Amino acid sequence: MNPFIVSALVLWVYFTIIFLVAQKLKNNSIVDSFWGPAFLLVAISSLLVDGSLGVRAVVLAFLVALWAFRLFLYITIRNWNKPEDYRYINMREKWGTSYARLKAYANVFLLQGILAYIISLPIMVTSASDMQQMKAINYLGVLLWVTGFVFESVGDAQLKAFKADKNYKGKLMTEKLWQYTRHPNYFGESVMWWGIFLVSLSGTRDLFTVVSPVIITLLLLFVSGVPLLEKKYEGREDFAAYSRRTNKFFPWFPKKEQ
C-alpha cells in the first residue's frame, strides 16, 4: 500500500472522529489537544505500511512521538474543564447558525487534517525511503530537534509555573527563556520541524519536503501563534516595554532600555 494514500485516509478518519466528539461536547477547541497525536498517527501508519522499520524512519517516529505526547498532555491538562476557547467561539459567531457544523468541519477539522498531511511529508518520505542510514545532516537534524524541544517544553513549563504563582497575577512573563524571545515555545516548535526536515533528507530529491517547516513557521509567525497572543496584549504599556527590549521570535539578548 502507498503510505501517502494511507496517511491521507488515516488523517481524514481521525479528524472526522474528533469533529463528531467536538459536536457532542459542543466544544470545537478540543481539536487543539489532538493536533500533535495526528502526526504520531502518520508516523505509525507509515512505519506499518512500509514494514522495514529503517533506522531513520524509527528515529523520526521516536522524535515525533516525544513531541506529540508532550504537546497532547500539556494542552489537555491546561484546557481541562475549561469552556471553549475564545478563538473558536469567535469563529462560531462569525459563521452564524446556517450550516455552522458543516463550516466547522471544513474550516477547522478538515483544514487541520490537510495542514497535518502537508507538514507530515518528511515523515512519510522518510518511511518510504530506501536509504535509512543516518548521515551527518540527519544527526544535525536530531540536534536541532532537541534544541527546539528544550525551548518549547521549558518555555511552556516556565509559563505554567509563572501563571500558577498568585504573586504574578495579571503580570507578563518576561523572565528566564522569555527574556530572550517573546515566544520561546513557538520558536521551539518551528526549530523542531526544521530538525525533522533535516532528519528526513537522504538526497536532493527530498528537498521538496522543506514545505513542512516553512508552513509551520509561517503559521506560527503570521496566523495561529504569535499574532493572536501579540494582539491579546496590544495596548498594554508593560507589553510595549517588553516588546521594545525582547525579540518577537528569534532569541537574542534583551536590548537595553533607552
| 108's grid cell | 477547522
| 9's grid cell | 485516509
- Same domain for 114 and 144, yes or no, is no
Domain boundary among 99, 130, 161: 130
pLDDT in tens, 107-147: 999 999 999 999 999 999 999 999 999 999 999 999 999 99
Domain boundary among 97, 130, 163: 130
User: For residues 110-148, b (16+ Cβ closer than 10 Å) or e, as one string?
Assistant: bebbebbbebbbbbbbbbbbeebeeeeebeebbebbebb
- Same domain for 113 and 164, yes or no, is no
- Same domain for 112 and 189, yes or no, is no
- Structural domain that includes position 76: 1-130
- Same domain for 104 and 217, yes or no, is no
Of residues 3 and 204, which shows the higher confidence score? Answer: 204
Q: How many domains does the chain have?
A: 2
- For the CA atoms of 138, 187, 111, 19, the dihedral, rounded to the nearest 10 degrees, stands at 100
- Same domain for 59 and 139, yes or no, is no
- Same domain for 1 and 119, yes or no, is yes
pLDDT band at 258 (very low <50, low <70, confident <90, very high): low
CB proximity list for 223: less than 8 A, separation 6 or greater? none
Against a cut of 0.85, is the pTM above it? yes
Of the candidates 33, 38, 27, 36, which has an alpha carbon nearest to the alpha carbon of residue 88? 27
